[in-house]
């Protein structure tokens, strides 16, 4: 048979397959979530997230060492405070859990890149992402405390701040506070298209951040909506975001693709706790090959257009990339 085009020519062996890959990954594009518990000394397994740990401030260096041993050089910090109140005041305390974790990391590993999650849900006694007015989150009064929190992280040495609250106008408020205090060079990674997803359950158990009443559908995005994600990204960019994010990842690959095509800013995706927990559970039941599913799932996010990925599998994915199994 005379065939001019034979696509299989470029699939014939591993060398040519690697040469012709359209999507490439690097350990530099992976961000590892670290949970720091102010009440803890050492580390403690997180039941809801097999293989993940809570770290005390005295042990957070261990998490960083494990990242660096696997050539993962970026993390995002989540804090579990000793005390909570209605306005989440420990979120911006000078010696709060995230602030002290930043200092502990930077004292030993000054070049390790520390991103901080900026939200109120882990710090409020009601578990919502802002200041309440009755049973509703008051958008505008929340902006002030978000800005104070982001500023406190920068003052403690954070390399980047990442507001995840989904309040309108929070990027502009944080940018103004950072600039006013001399932190013009601290970037903002905005959780721009964060959906009100059912995939967050294990994280909320790990971070102690489940709302005590109601839900977050009044400020996080409706999973039915695609165009709204473009609007949210556009607004965040106009307010000064340096990187935009789509969260979750796997169920929103279409949104990642459209945002990547529509905007020139770097795009982050968050492979969230529920995605990780499902793979772990299916693997434990003997139903899947965890390693291959881990690789294929991450690859799909980058193929959709993400430039970077927050993932609980960051260390394992880095190993897979270096082995040539992915990337």
Residues 316-326: tens digit of each pLDDT: 999 999 999 99
| Residues sharing a CB contact under 8 Å with residue 7, sequence separation 6 or more, in sequence order | none
pLDDT (tens digit per residue) in 11-41: 999 888 988 888 999 999 999 999 999 999 9
Our measurement of the distance from residue 310's CA atom to the centroid of its chain's CA atoms, rounded to an integer in Å, reads 5
Q: What is the largest CA-CA distance in the chain?
A: 75
| Residue 259, pLDDT above cutoff 80 | yes
Predicted structure pTM score:
0.95
Q: Residue 23 in contact with residue 302, Cβ under 8 Å?
A: yes
pLDDT tens digit sequence for 188-214: 999 999 999 999 999 888 877 777 777
Looking at residue 118, what is its pLDDT? 97
Which residues are 22's β-sheet partners? Answer: none
Q: What is the pLDDT of residue 210?
A: 78
| Residue range 46-65, pLDDT digits in tens | 999 999 999 999 999 999 99
| Mean pLDDT along residues 67-85 | 96
Q: What is the average pLDDT value for the chain, to the nearest integer?
A: 95
Domain layout of the chain by residue ranges: 24-323
User: Which CATH topology does 24-323 take?
Assistant: TIM Barrel (3.20.20)
Half-sphere exposure of 48 (CA within 13 A, CB side): 16
Active site residues: 194, 247
Higher pLDDT, 104 or 213: 104
């Amino acid at each position: 048979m005379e065939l001019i085009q034979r696509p299989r020519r470029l699939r014939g062996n591993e060398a040519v397959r690697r040469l012709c890959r359209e999507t490439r990954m690097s350990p530099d594009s992976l961000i590892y979530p670290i949970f720091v518990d102010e009440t803890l000394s050492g580390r403690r397994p997180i039941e809801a997230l097999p293989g993940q740990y809570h770290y005390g401030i005295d042990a957070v260096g261990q998490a960083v060492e494990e990242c660096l041993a696997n050539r993962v050089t970026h993390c995002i910090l989540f804090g579990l405070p000793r005390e909570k109140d209605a306005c989440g005041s420990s979120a911006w305390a000078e010696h709060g859990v995230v602030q002290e974790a930043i200092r502990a990391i930077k004292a030993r590993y000054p070049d390790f890149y520390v991103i901080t999650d900026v939200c109120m849900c882990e710090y409020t006694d009601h578990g919502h992402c802002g200041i309440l007015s009755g049973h509703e989150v008051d958008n505008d009064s929340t902006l002030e405390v978000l800005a104070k929190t982001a500023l406190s992280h920068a003052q403690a040495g954070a390399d980047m701040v990442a507001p995840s609250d989904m309040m309108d106008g929070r990027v502009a408020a944080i940018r103004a506070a950072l600039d006013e205090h001399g932190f013009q060079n601290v970037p903002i990674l905005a959780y721009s298209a964060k959906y009100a997803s059912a995939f967050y359950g294990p994280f909320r158990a790990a971070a102690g951040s489940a709302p005590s009443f109601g839900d977050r559908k009044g400020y996080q995005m409706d999973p039915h909506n695609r165009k709204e994600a473009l609007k949210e990204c556009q607004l965040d960019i106009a307010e000064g975001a340096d990187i935009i994010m789509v969260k979750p990842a796997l169920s929103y690959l279409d949104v990642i693709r459209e945002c990547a095509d529509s905007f020139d800013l770097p795009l982050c995706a968050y492979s969230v706790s529920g995605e990780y927990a499902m793979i772990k559970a299916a693997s434990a039941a003997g139903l899947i090959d965890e390693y291959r599913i881990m690789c294929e799932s991450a690859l799909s996010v980058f193929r959709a257009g993400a430039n970077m990925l927050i993932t609980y599998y960051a260390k394992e994915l880095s190993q897979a990339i270096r082995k040539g199994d992915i990337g």
